[in-house]
């Protein structure tokens, strides 16, 4: 069983259609603007200053407001006001569906209970698979980092879907980028997806329009995203006094070839509005 976003769950259950899903997602996105956007609306940051903060977020595991304050661009009072505005404007996905008339309150409550139970079962199965694996610590770090990194640098959430234990789960993963470190305990971190997802991730990561993103640029962006991910995993799992050397991102090993290495690889399916992808940890 795979964990799903609530909207996908409702779609698969036939409680909403795709048009209703997209309308609710659009409304949810509009109700939850990022702090940089709110600060620009108030005239507290310029677009260039917001981009500088976003660039630092790619390398530092900190919130937008904390970075902006450390850079002297915002003070604590301004950050608190922006956070309060963001919280006041945020709407839950289910509440939006009820407001739009896509489902009623009774349907929402029942669906939330069923979705919660399914997700709990899926996460328990994932925990068993990850905790008992030799690469479990690194995989957990990669998962948690992705769940923090995606909203901050790509403007979209991601969540765990489940362990990848068969080649069928890799259908559509036509692109695989990985970064390998050489050390006493060598390790590789990879990300596999289809080309459309790669392009959407690249556009979000680089803050550019699709027309500006060709295949070469999309590959470069995906490689850099994996590079950032590896940096966090190394920081959390490799001893501080350990010597290691990171290689540039590579695209020559497919997700399927990684999976065929058995216990040397742990692959985890992830879901995101930008598209599904697979996290790969290999030693």
Superfamily name with CATH number, domain 134-282:
CheC-like (3.40.1550.10)
- Residue segments in the chain with a per-residue pLDDT below the cut of 50: none
Of 241, 254, 258, 257, nearest to 139 by C-alpha is 258
| Cβ neighbours for 43, distance < 8 A, ≥ 6 positions apart | none
Per the listing, tokens 């903060």 go with: 53
Going from N- to C-terminal start, the domains of the chain cover: 134-282
Model pTM score: 0.81
Give yes or no for a contact between 173 and 191, defined as CB atoms under 8 angstroms apart.
no
Largest pairwise CA distance in the chain: 58
Give yes or no for a contact between 203 and 225, defined as CB atoms under 8 angstroms apart.
no
Give yes or no for a contact between 276 and 167, defined as CB atoms under 8 angstroms apart.
no
d(C-alpha 268, C-alpha 142), whole Å: 10
Of 126, 153, 115, 168, nearest to 229 by C-alpha is 153
């Amino acid at each position: 069983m795979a964990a799903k976003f609530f909207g996908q769950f409702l779609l698969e259950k036939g409680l909403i259609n795709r048009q209703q899903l997209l309308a609710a997602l659009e409304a949810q996105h509009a109700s939850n603007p990022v702090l940089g956007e709110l600060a620009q609306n108030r005239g507290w940051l310029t677009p260039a200053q917001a981009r500088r903060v976003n660039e630092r977020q790619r390398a530092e595991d900190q919130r937008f407001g904390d970075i902006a304050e450390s850079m002297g661009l915002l003070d604590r009072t301004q950050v608190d006001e922006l956070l309060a505005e963001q919280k006041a404007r945020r709407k839950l996905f289910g509440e939006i569906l009820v407001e739009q008339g896509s489902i009623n309150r009774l349907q929402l409550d029942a669906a939330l209970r069923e979705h919660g139970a399914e997700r709990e079962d899926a996460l328990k199965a994932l925990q068993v698979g990850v905790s008992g694996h030799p690469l479990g610590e690194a995989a957990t770090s990669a998962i948690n980092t992705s769940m923090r990194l995606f909203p901050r640098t790509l403007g979209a959430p991601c969540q765990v879907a489940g362990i990848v234990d068969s080649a069928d789960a890799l259908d559509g993963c036509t692109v695989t980028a990985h970064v390998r470190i050489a050390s006493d305990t060598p390790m590789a971190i990879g990300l596999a997806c289809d080309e459309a997802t790669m392009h959407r991730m690249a556009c979000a990561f680089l803050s550019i329009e699709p027309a500006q993103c060709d295949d070469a640029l999309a590959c470069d962006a995906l490689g850099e995203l994996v590079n950032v991910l590896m940096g966090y995993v190394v920081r959390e799992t490799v001893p501080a006094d350990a010597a290691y050397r990171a290689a540039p991102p590579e695209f020559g090993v497919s997700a399927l070839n990684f999976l065929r290495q058995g216990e040397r690889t742990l692959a985890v399916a992830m879901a995101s509005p930008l598209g599904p992808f697979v996290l790969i940890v290999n030693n």
